């Protein structure tokens, strides 16, 4: 390798390193800005957030903030999504039960609890309406709700189209939480809006059919047995007798089919 070629090679490698370092620095600056904005939001509310105040709190120049976020609206969207991440993480790992309507009830309660526990972030997300703009976290939350409703619909539990149910639940939950947040903190009792939750879900959903209840019960029992039957054989959980590995394998195959073909 000639000297000039070697210089170009090492300079190329150095440039790659500099770009990587710069990218890491930008990520760190972005995190600092979001953290500073979230703290200002919690302490002073939406009126306490200006690009100048956030930049000063984060220890960066205002042009850096604009370069990373584009403007105040984009910053507010990012702060809302940043604050909502814990809530969305819980919703993403939400374990569905055999009753999709009961899951909707649980989802409503989780939403209300987050809003009352994090009033500043919640108000920024749903109370700071800007036509044509929707934070990514709000869209993801709606998508999760829509998926839960599609599951209920596949079980024949919806009275209305999925999109109608999605809009109705989103409007009623956010409206109810914002109404509670407008009250003095000692009066923010989530029990006050549970009747609304039940009325909305009763208006949108149907009761399960006896066949659906039987199917769900059979599936749940099969799953419970599958969890205790060892592939190596051994003690029969039903008769307290013993069975061979071949018998255990056959039983597990049957149980798996019951679980796989049970309620969605």
Query: What pLDDT digit, counting tens, does each position of 211-230 carry?
Result: 555 566 677 777 777 676 76
For 98-153, the pLDDT digits (tens) are 899 999 999 999 999 999 998 988 988 888 767 777 778 888 999 999 999 999 99
pLDDT category, 16, cuts 50, 70, 90? very low
- The pLDDT tens digits of the residues spanning 71-108 come to 888 898 888 888 888 788 888 888 888 899 999 999 99
The pLDDT of residue 211: 57
The helix/strand count (H/E) of the chain reads as 11, 2
Cβ atoms of residues 61 and 47 within 8 Å: no
Q: What is the per-residue pLDDT for 10?
A: 41
**pLDDT value of residue 100:** 94
Strands 242-243, 234-235: pairing is antiparallel
d(CA 118, CA 206): 33
pLDDT at residue 183 in the model: 93
69 Cβ contact partners less than 8 Å away, ≥ 6 residues apart: 30, 33, 75, 78
pLDDT by residue (tens digit) across 55-71? 999 999 999 999 999 88
Residues sharing a CB contact under 8 Å with residue 62, sequence separation 6 or more, in sequence order: 51, 52, 55
Q: Which two tokens stand for residue 237?
A: 């959980």
Among the CATH numbers 1.20.1560.10, 1.10.10.60, 3.40.50.150, 3.20.130.10, which is that of 3-70? 1.10.10.60
Q: Rounded to whole angstroms, how far apart are CA atoms 48 and 78?
A: 16
At the fourth CATH level, the homologous superfamily of domain 83-204 is: Tetracycline Repressor, domain 2 (1.10.357.10)
Q: Domain locations in the chain?
A: 3-70, 83-204, 210-260
What pLDDT score does 227 carry?
72
- pLDDT for position 210: 64
H/E element, 235? strand 234-235
- The pLDDT, as a whole number, for residue 260 is 66
Residue 15 has pLDDT above 50, yes or no: no
What's residue 264's pLDDT? Answer: 47
Q: In this predicted structure, what is the pLDDT of residue 174?
A: 95
Query: Cα torsion at 231, 235, 241, 243 (round to 10°)?
Result: 20
Q: pLDDT band at 24, cuts 50/70/90?
A: low
Name beta bridge partners: 234: 243
pLDDT of residue 247: 75
The pLDDT, as a whole number, for residue 263 is 53
Residue 191's alpha-carbon distances to 170, 172, 204, 242, in angstroms, are 18, 15, 21, 52
């Amino acid at each position: 390798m000639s000297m000039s070629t070697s210089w170009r090679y090492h300079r190329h490698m150095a440039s790659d390193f500099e770009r990587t370092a710069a990218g890491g620095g930008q990520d760190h600056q972005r995190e600092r800005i979001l953290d500073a904005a979230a703290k200002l939001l919690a302490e002073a509310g939406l009126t306490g957030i200006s690009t100048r105040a956030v930049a000063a709190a984060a220890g960066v120049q205002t042009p850096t903030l604009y370069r990373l976020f584009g403007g105040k609206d984009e910053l507010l969207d990012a702060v809302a999504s940043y604050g909502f991440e814990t809530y969305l993480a819980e919703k993403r790992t939400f374990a569905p039960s055999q009753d999709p309507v009961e899951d909707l009830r649980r989802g409503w309660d989780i939403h209300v609890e987050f809003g009352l526990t994090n009033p500043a972030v919640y108000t920024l997300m749903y109370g700071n309406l800007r036509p044509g703009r929707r934070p990514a976290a709000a869209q993801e939350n709606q998508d999760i709700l829509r998926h839960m409703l599609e599951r209920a619909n596949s079980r024949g539990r919806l009275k209305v189209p999925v999109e109608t149910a999605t809009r109705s639940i989103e409007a009623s939950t956010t409206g109810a939480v914002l109404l509670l947040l407008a009250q003095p903190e000692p009066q923010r009792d989530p029990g006050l809006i549970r009747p609304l939750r039940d009325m909305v879900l009763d208006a949108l959903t149907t009761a399960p059919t006896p066949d659906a209840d039987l199917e769900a019960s059979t599936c749940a029992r099969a799953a419970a047995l599958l969890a205790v039957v060892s592939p190596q054989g051994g003690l029969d959980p039903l008769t307290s007798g013993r069975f061979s590995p071949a018998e255990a394998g056959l039983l597990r195959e049957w149980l798996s089919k019951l679980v796989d073909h049970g309620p969605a």
